[in-house]
Structure 1
């Protein structure tokens, strides 16, 4: 089995922004434990200028990507290489996979299953200070992390490596099937993120406020979480 963690650096938050770097890091299982490989990355020609405000995040500039492969060529190396062809089961992973999947569509990835480590972290570690990739790195402090491979942050290879180590921590607590299942649906938010109950666990939010939330035009993560909380209270007879 092969699990491949993917990270993209881009020229913006959504298409038609282009990809300027792709990084990946594999997890393999020997029948007893998961092993995290070394991260790999490649620069990509986004076929458009890189805005200075995004260069300020990942520090990739136009001269870095001049003459590099375009996205379609890069994904053939990062996703459809010999390792994938040999794997009996292939799973793709990203932290906040909703972002990467804007570019890594089914036309690119085929029928590969996805794991979103952000959604999984919300369920496994609701008590975390927050659920950003970098925060989980320092909060969980996964054994074996090599700082030289994990830095600099906001570059595709190091970020994929950190996510892979966080994922290994998750696989000690939950099955691969559960992680895939949780990732396929909306995020389960541990705390209210808005309004007068901001920061409170949903279990402490009054029922009248939950009912009010359901009448608003909220995003799917909020509605999913509130509906689940209401069902839990009904079962508990609250």
Structure 2
């Protein structure tokens, strides 16, 4: 870890590994900072790290199979509530927090720990800036785009908190150098704008290729990203208003 100038615009990328699905089940947090230099260019810094966290109960086999963190490794680690704020609210300037599919991190990184710092979702932002890419997972973006300066070994192993945050930070850097921080924050506050239909008979088609009738059906889908994507295309055609679709066809259980 190196010391950086913390008065410059800074976004801290966060990645979590968890031991289950409970509200305090974090077993590792990783971070990587991205700052804006004196010329206005965003860059990945040497400020990165990771801490193991005691989730307070045994880690499930399903999650151990993903990140390979063992109960014995976190037995003497601090609890989430003891260390979260120190990572999420570091000294110096923080303009935003960021994560890939940030809704997951936000389940655990609540305003109690973040102080209300806004979030950037690099998954939602990548679909806006690079819509022609075929896939948008963190690791697929890594190998589809091959971001400059990404040291392959630092970004491994995948599915551990610091390496994943490091990879995400390179996507964030490039997003910030193509559009503004405020634009990324705005997109991140909306559902994901999917470039193509994700499933079904129309899978892989751009929304602009669908009939109005098909779009109206998708605009009632239980998935918020699908609804939003269909509604956006209907709005572009002048066929959508807030009253035109009242309820999803099947309400979400979430």
TM-score normalised by structure 2 residue count: 0.86
What whole-Å deviation, never above 9, does each CA across 1:7-30 have from its counterpart, x for those lacking one?
000013x43460000000001112
CA contact (8 A) 1:119 1:187 kept: yes
- Structure 1 equivalent of residue 150 of structure 2: 145
Q: Secondary structure at the match of 2:77?
A: coil
- Is residue 2:117 matched to residue 1:112? yes
How far the C-alpha of 1:194 sits from its partner, in A, is: 2.4
Q: Secondary structure at the match of 2:172?
A: helix
- Is residue 2:31 matched to residue 1:35? no
Report the Cα distance in structure 2 between the residues aligned to 1:159 and 1:136, rounded to whole angstroms.
Answer: 12
How far the C-alpha of 1:180 sits from its partner, in A, is: 0.4
Report the Cα distance in structure 2 between the residues aligned to 1:3 and 1:193, rounded to whole angstroms.
Answer: 30
CA contact (8 A) 2:42 2:177 kept: no
From the superposition, tell whether residues 45 and 55 of structure 1 become closer, same or farther in structure 2 (CA, over 3 Å): same
Partner residue of 2:71 out of 36, 48, 62: 62
Report the Cα distance in structure 2 between the residues aligned to 1:106 and 1:220, rounded to whole angstroms.
Answer: 23
Structure 2 unpaired stretches of 5+: 1-8, 240-254
CA contact (8 A) 1:114 1:180 kept: yes
Let me know the Cα RMSD of the aligned residues: 1.4
CA contact (8 A) 2:23 2:107 kept: no
Q: Secondary structure at the match of 1:9?
A: strand
- Structure 2 equivalent of residue 80 of structure 1: 89
Partner residue of 1:90 out of 86, 91, 95: 95
Q: Which runs of 4+ in 1 moved over 6 A?
A: none
Q: Secondary structure at the match of 2:108?
A: coil
Report the Cα distance in structure 1 between the residues aligned to 2:133 and 2:22, rounded to whole angstroms.
Answer: 31
- Structure 2 equivalent of residue 173 of structure 1: 178
- Is residue 2:228 matched to residue 1:224? yes
TM-score normalised by structure 1 residue count: 0.92
Report the Cα distance in structure 1 between the residues aligned to 2:181 and 2:151, rounded to whole angstroms.
Answer: 25
CA contact (8 A) 2:85 2:114 kept: no
Q: Secondary structure at the match of 1:128?
A: coil
| Correspondences of 1:15-26 after superposition (within 5 Å) | 15-16=22-23, 18-26=25-33
Structure 1 unpaired stretches of 5+: none
